[in-house]
Amino acid sequence: MKLWYGRFQSNVNEAADSFNSSLSFDKRLYACDIAGSKAHCTMLGECNIIPDEDAKLIVKTLDEILNDINNGKCEIKDAEDIHSFVENELVSRIGAIGKKLHTGRSRNDQVALDIRLYLRDAADDIVALLKQFASTLTDIAENNLNTVMPAFTHLQKAQPTTLAHHMAAYAEMLLRDISRFEETKTRINVMPLGSGACTSTPYPINRQRVAELLNFPVITANSMDAVSDRDFVLDFLYSASVAMMHLSRLSEEIIIWSSDDYKYIELSDGYSTGSSIMPQKKNPDMNELIRGKTGRVYGDLMSLLTVMKGIPLAYDKDMQEDKECVFDAYDTLKASLIVINGLMKEAKFNVTRLRECTDGGFTSATECADYLVGKGVPFRDAHAIVGRLVIYCIENGKTMQSLTLDEYKKFGDFDEGIYEAIKAETAIMRRTAPGAPSPDSMKAEIKQLRKQLK
């Protein structure tokens, strides 16, 4: 039966009924809905708004319903939404007393509470997974302090660095993702119940008590705002979008690095797929899917931003559209984090290949210029000299390492020391500033990462 049947004289149209129903997706909120109802009912009893023994019976029955749903004994079906379902089930079990539960409450503040309870746990869940993945990347960094590889800008080889430096860069992004979700959680963690449909309720309710029972540090300040605010859902979706963007960038690199031309990394069989026609194929589908699914999560954020932009205060049914966005973004980010964490744990970096590729593309050109600066040449002039040296190498099929000293001397004030100066290892060792790739700088960064991941 509809919660609002009294005002209606005939049944709602079948198509309209199914269009209106949110049960197929908001059933995920059942445990939150029951937790919220228990707290509300306990408070109603304590404040003598309903008889204490009625409150106790309702709470006990709600617990039984929760158990039965968890054990598969009670199937969630045949209701407009999860709130209606729980209430109908309660009334079917204890009759008239169950009808007292909704005293001083509206589905508008009820759903606002449910989604906050749900997202509070979801944010914790995502933070835990982000921490795991950041630790995995930090482990890879720690094991590769001396694994030399090229750093790129514009996907052109730029300067020598280490795999530790590259992986720790992603760990830093994940740390910021963690803090974004933690901050989002402080805005989620506000208790809206007691706001009623939009102007609260005349019953002598105790909102602080409900907050205490549900472990919320604060309550919402304005009942209109409380039932119509979904910015905390948008915060969650934005945080999820940024995290997906980071996973997508890493995935893009994994895809490039696992190609035959790069061969920087080999994915384990467990995290690769094959081709139905080309027997040789081992494809990085997981990373492609993460890159692709990033689009969905952005879509979830854009959907809800658009849903919210034109609706007047207070509650409007448009807001029911928040749920599929948030469930989809949460599921997608969660699955992506689990998969990419396992994938990176099992991936093998080709250390020899990374080292070989470091000298290509004149990655030592900056070192060569800095070497001349050390001899008193102004940097801009040194830059131009090395630019001409690079042209000479290209035209004569040489590298900076294979040039003879006589050849070097034609361009400027070079001596034997140039060969040591242009080694990738030298370039890395000399970069000792905080945040730089020298092993000592990286050890310090890794120590900080570990501290923040605790």
Catalytically active residues, by annotation? 154, 275
Question: Scanning residues 110 to 139, which ones bind ligand ARG (CB under 6 A)?
Answer: 111
Between residues 119 and 319, which has the closer beta carbon with respect to ligand ARG?
319
Site string for ligand ARG, 86-115 (x = CB under 6 A): ---------------------xx--x----
* Shortest reach from residue 216's CB to ligand ARG, in Å: 20
Task: Report the C-alpha gap between 48 and 42 in whole angstroms.
Answer: 10
In the structure encoding, which two tokens stand for residue 18, read together? 């199914």
Locate the DSSP E strands across 249-305: 265-266
Q: Can you tell me which of 22, 61, 200, 358 binds ligand ARG, judged by CB under 6 A?
A: 22
Between residues 317 and 451, which has the closer beta carbon with respect to ligand ARG?
317
B/e letters for 321-343, b = 16+ CB within 10 Å, e = fewer, are ebbbbbbbbbebbeebbebbbbb
Between residues 132 and 303, which has the closer beta carbon with respect to ligand ARG?
303
Q: What DSSP line would sit under 60-99, residue for residue?
A: HHHHHHHHHHHTTSS---SSSSHHHHHHHHHHHHHGGGGG
Question: Scanning residues 304 to 343, which ones bind ligand ARG (CB under 6 A)?
Answer: 315, 317, 319-320
Task: Report the C-alpha gap between 276 and 274 in whole angstroms.
Answer: 7
CA dihedral 279, 283, 289, 290 (to 10 degrees): 170
Q: 163-188 and 231-257 helices cross at what angle (nearest 10)?
A: 170
* Shortest reach from residue 196's CB to ligand ARG, in Å: 11
Site string for ligand ARG, 259-298 (x = CB under 6 A): ----------------------------------------
Size of the site for ligand ARG (CB under 6 A): 10
Between residues 228 and 241, which has the closer beta carbon with respect to ligand ARG?
228
> What phi and psi, each to the nearest 5 degrees, are found at residue 35?
-60, -45
* Shortest reach from residue 67's CB to ligand ARG, in Å: 24
Between residues 4 and 379, which has the closer beta carbon with respect to ligand ARG?
4
**Residue bearing tokens 């007047």:** 312
Q: Can you tell me which of 81, 177, 300, 445 binds ligand ARG, judged by CB under 6 A?
A: 81
How far is CA 31 from each of CA 26, 68, 112, 237, rounded to the nearest angstrom? 11, 11, 14, 22
Binding site for ligand ARG (CB under 6 A): 22, 26, 81, 107-108, 111, 315, 317, 319-320
